[in-house]
Amino acid sequence: MQLPTSRVLLLATGAGLGVASLYYSQPMLGVLGADLGASAQAVGQVPTLTQLGYALGILLLAPLGDRFDRRRIIVAKAAALVAALLLAALAPSIGVLLAASLAIGITATMAQDIVPAAATLAPTAHRGKVVGMVMTGLLLGILLSRVVSGFVAEHFSWRGMFLAAAVAVSAIAVATWRSLPRFPATTTLPYGQLLASLATLWRQHATLRRAALAQGLLSVGFSAFWSTLAVMLHGAPFHLGSTAAGAFGLAGAAGALAAPLAGRLADRTGPERVVRWGAGVAALSFAAMAAAPWIPPTAQLCLLVLCTIGFDLGVQAALISHQTMVYGIDPGARSRLNAVLMTGMFIGMATGAALGSLLLAAWGWMAVTLLATTTSLAALAVRMATRRGSACMAAA
């Protein structure tokens, strides 16, 4: 029996709105920094704390999906996320906004409870299709959030964006409570042992370790780009507002929409090959950005758009392929396996946001592109080492 389309759309929308909360601030950094009288360095901590909070939330809270009813967890996190978004909207100072950013990151992990819920609800024959649709919603939430927030911040206010996000998440919480069934627990481990089992899974499964490391490295460059783009476009030679920075999310969305096709390719050729292809495309796209300072501003923008499509496609294709690998390890530990993978990914995101802001302030945009290219090549090296290791084992 197929999962109703309406329920799949609810899950995809919930995942998208949940994870979008992490990225609303990025195109608005220039606007909110001026409004709060905060320095560029202080403003740069907003996306860093959001990503760090998300990593902590995944590590400490996502494993609970194997222990308790996922529906209750999703609704409880949604309610807490609404409170955090309202705090950000009403923040009187950069300090309060930073605290709210950390709380937003922690509670936005409702998205990482929705994806395993979709995998559990879907019949086996259609599981890949359902998870792919929900992941498309999540990826579009990441990328289109920048478009929406950039427009709202420039034409209304950055506070209005956080208020609108709180209303949207409230609606999803109500719909989730009414629509989703209860989810039986797959383990009875106490919380301490549940967290300890993450380390056990990490030690037992080399596939999990390689996936978390490679995706984390790709995420460094991904986050460094998006965390600094608005500040870079705000300065010379572009002098563009938050709407322009947010509009780059449309280019990223093009890559996200194509990424599920990479998932189908992974079914036919194997996810390992698609991961290597994705990492290679990301590295080439970031490297091509290094040519921007030597061409006219209009050509620079065109180049940035093309490169944004390329690296987003590569990073998202790698993520879907890594999830395919990880979800197949142990269905009974799906939430914990997802927690380990996503913790690695968002540690990379937080690292990229922090390093990107520092490099942009100290050495300019070229340093950001160099960082992104280097980490993407490192991710490709991890996957190529996996290939050589498999070949050696086969030969032995």
Question: For residue range 149-208, what is the model confidence (pLDDT) as tens digits?
Answer: 888 888 888 999 999 999 999 999 999 999 998 888 888 888 889 889 999 999 999 999
Q: In which band, very low, low, confident or very high, does the pLDDT at 246 lie, cut at 50, 70 and 90?
A: low
Q: How many domains does the chain have?
A: 1
Give the whole-angstrom CA distance, residue 296 versus residue 298.
Answer: 6
C-alpha dist (Å) from residue 295 to 160, 231, 237, 286, 302? 37, 20, 11, 16, 11
Sign of CA dihedral 55, 59, 61, 66: positive
What percent of the chain is predicted at pLDDT more than 70?
90
Helical axes 111-121 vs 70-89, angle rounded to 10°: 150
Q: In which band, very low, low, confident or very high, does the pLDDT at 272 lie, cut at 50, 70 and 90?
A: confident
Residue 333 has pLDDT above 80, yes or no: yes
Choose the weakest-confidence range: 110-114, 115-119, 351-355. Answer: 115-119
**Which of the two residues, 213 and 387, has the higher pLDDT score?**
213
- Position 349, amino acid: M
Q: In which band, very low, low, confident or very high, does the pLDDT at 16 lie, cut at 50, 70 and 90?
A: very high
Quickly count helices (H) and strands (E) in the chain.
15, 0
Write down the pLDDT at residue 267: 67
Q: In which band, very low, low, confident or very high, does the pLDDT at 238 lie, cut at 50, 70 and 90?
A: confident
Domain region containing 245:
5-395
Tell me how far the alpha carbon of residue 198 is from its chain's centroid. Answer: 21
Give the whole-angstrom CA distance, residue 29 versus residue 264.
Answer: 37
Sign of CA dihedral 206, 192, 110, 163: negative
First to last CA, the chain: 45
Which H or E run contains 359? helix 334-363
Write down the pLDDT at residue 216: 95
Give the whole-angstrom CA distance, residue 161 versus residue 168.
Answer: 11
Give the whole-angstrom CA distance, residue 383 versus residue 377.
Answer: 10
| CATH code of the domain covering residue 112 | 1.20.1250.20
Q: What is the DSSP letter of 25?
A: T
Of 55, 28, 24, nearest to 43 (Cα)?
Answer: 28
Q: What is the DSSP letter of 290?
A: G
Joined together, the tokens standing for residue 146 give: 């920048």
- Identify whether the C-beta of residue 295 lies closer than 8 Å to the C-beta of residue 303: yes
Write down the pLDDT at residue 104: 96
Give the whole-angstrom CA distance, residue 150 versus residue 243.
Answer: 4
Residue 363 has pLDDT above 80, yes or no: yes
Give the whole-angstrom CA distance, residue 396 versus residue 390.
Answer: 10
C-alpha dist (Å) from residue 60 to 106, 202, 254, 293? 9, 15, 33, 43
Joined together, the tokens standing for residue 241 give: 């507002």
C-alpha dist (Å) from residue 101 to 87, 96, 168? 9, 9, 18
Phi/psi of residue 235, nearest 5 degrees? -95, -170
pLDDT in tens, 130-152: 777 787 888 788 778 877 888 88
Contacts of 2 (CB under 8 A, 6+ apart): 123, 126
pTM: 0.75
Cα-based angle 96, 353, 37 (whole degrees, multiple of 5): 40
Own/partner long-range contacts of 362-368 (Cβ < 8 Å, ≥24 apart) = 365/228, 365/232, 365/289, 365/292, 365/293, 366/290, 366/293, 368/224, 368/225, 368/228, 368/232
Which H or E run contains 246? helix 242-269
